[in-house]
Structure 1
């Protein structure tokens, strides 16, 4: 996460960025709200529903006040939020943030939520066989602006470590209660027009979100290394399609962007890609889906491939996901 001179706080998106710019989204701005820094400054969260409609509205606000924070990215063929590196006045590292929080707990200077967060990390260390430096903290806890109802948002470094953490959560008992709850059900129904029974079934299998004691948690992954270099691949929109796919691999679904490998027999689509992380960790190998989404051609060093993009500008309001079995 990083801040600009206006006090705007952005969350970094993924690990591939244009030269001297940072793909991101605007999350907090100075204003009234329960998020309070140590110096007394308060913040308003501007990204609340994490929908494409909301993102486009935020981009309009940025365009009116700081148009240089937007960037037409020729690689993806769209305008994105990507402030220049020289606009950054402060940044927060997830690993350093966790280390400093651990120190405050040891010194008796931590808040209740910080103590609970370290308790959750210790639980994962014990049950997943991981070390403290396998984790990082993000969100309002990283920024030090959290309040009593804030979540514990953790990241795990590396695919193998993430898989071990997920397995521990999958078999957990008290004080861990995995599950995404009604909010995810409502989001899937509203954005992707998913039948209620499908949405409830998917929410019930989620383990990367849930409760630690009475506090909500989330666990996402950070890749061992960037997927590729910027510009190695070119993405070309090919319209909106409705197809049936079968999930063949979900091991990259809890990283940013979320990626599912699929088999699709008509067009030869190879994967689903999404920056809308509400879809992360939902689908499993063997799931069959009917999906309406943007189709992209991916041009790279090994030739061309097709992917579906969920959470695109072009398909906003018309995307759909239905479980077929």
Structure 2
């Protein structure tokens, strides 16, 4: 098994599918959230087995529901993390039946596509490569297609791009591809309404977010998302190098000083001119978000307000969004 990366998938001995989250994993476990479980009936099917989707949408409190489900039914997948000082879902390596690499699956789609959707993913990747010059080896596919659980009638295409430079090339050219249509009109309105509901945004904020989101759209009428993911060389730090200690909720106003690492998940924003509005009055150096909606939205020089979990990291402080401990988390333009 290669170095675990964000949005890899794994299958457990019970036949459940987990999606790997982030890059910080204990030596004997993989940090991941439950995505699909075997079911009597369901929209998804592989072979003769039906599956239900355990995560209805991507939000920290949806993940909280899956942790509660696991604690009740499969407690060996919920552990206290002594490095992050939180309880979370983690799969012991000894319980992994199969590990799924997005880049391996993308290669399979090029060499032997099995249906129309798989052919479309390969065509999408080919257009990206033709326009940007990046090689096939830095592209992958995640989600239901990765684990062969997709349905060509309704499944989306979730594409991985490995590496910051490769991701920037895709970002700068994606909208120029011949068969790509950006979110607009009723589809854009659907996106705005969804974010307003799930993330408690007002309409102005949701519209600003929609205008910045480059990595969603339609390819030949099929919805797609593109997700920048770190290469091995871009993964910094090892599990246990530092510890993350919660210091309670905090609300800050600040100016974005550096957004160059914000396209990955978790998104990282360095901040200046920080004013702590609520919470412990300490020097906060960065905002980190595990909520994908805040990835690659804010730019240098822009002023933001954010609420999340204040964390102490070896004597320094950061504000974290996407934790289970704080209600009404947000990051918005000021």
Moved more, 129-138 or 186-195: 186-195
Aligned residue for 1:167, secondary structure, equals helix
Q: What is the aligned counterpart of 1:313 among 316, 319, 324? A: 324
SS at match of 2:172: helix
Number of residue pairs aligned between Structure 1 and Structure 2: 313
Contact 2:127–2:177, Cα closer than 8 Å, also in 1: no
Distance across 1 between alignment mates of 2:288 and 2:211: 22
Please provide the CA RMSD for this pair.
1.7
**TM-score normalized with structure 2 length:** 0.88
Deviation of the 1:28 alpha carbon = 0.3
Question: For the residues of structure 1 that align with 2:220 and 2:257, how far apart are their CA atoms?
Answer: 34
Runs of 5+ consecutive residues of structure 2 not aligned to the other structure: 1-8, 276-281
Counterpart of 1:185? Answer: 192
Following superposition, the deviation at residue 128 of structure 1 comes to 1.2
Match of 1:239 among 224, 231, 248: 248
**Range with greater deviation from structure 2 (222-231 or 263-272):** 263-272
Q: Give the Å deviation of 1:243.
A: 1.2
Matches within 5 A, 1:1-325: 1-31=9-39, 32-37=41-46, 39-105=47-113, 110-147=114-151, 148-169=153-174, 171-172=175-176, 174-179=178-183, 181-225=188-232, 226-266=235-275, 267-299=282-314, 304-316=315-327, 318-324=328-334
Q: CA 1:204/1:290 → structure 2, altered by over 3 Å: closer, same or farther?
A: same
Cα distance in 2, alignment partners of residues 212 and 4 from structure 1: 32
Question: 1:193 & 1:145 partners in 2: Cα distance?
Answer: 32
1:140-182 deviation per Cα after TM superposition (whole angstroms, max 9, x unaligned) = 111111112111111111111111111112x525421234834
| Structure 1 residues 138 and 128, CA gap change in structure 2 (3 angstroms) | same
* Cα distance per residue 1:65-107 (max 9 Å; x no partner): 11111110011110010010000011211111111111113xx
Deviation at 1:187, TM superposition (A): 4.3
Alpha-carbon shift at residue 60 of structure 1 (Å): 1.1
Secondary structure at the aligned position of 1:23 is classed as strand
Deviation at 1:239, TM superposition (A): 1.4
Larger mean Cα displacement after TM superposition, 262-271 or 112-121:
262-271
2-structure distance, mates of 1:205, 1:282? 6
- Contact in 2 for aligned 1:2/1:10 (Cα 8 Å): yes
How far apart are residue 262 of structure 1 and its match? 2.0
- TM-score scaled by length of structure 1: 0.91
CA contact (8 A) 1:247 1:286 kept: yes
**Does the 8 Å CA contact 2:128/2:177 hold for their aligned counterparts?**
no
| Cα distance between partner residues in 2 of 1:205 and 1:270 | 24
Equivalent position SS for 2:238: coil
Contact kept, 8 Å, 1:191 with 1:319, in 2: the verdict is: no
Query: Quick check: 290-299 or 258-267, which moved more?
Result: 258-267
Mean Cα deviation higher: 113-122 or 218-227: 218-227
Give ranges in structure 1 of 5+ residues lacking alignment: none
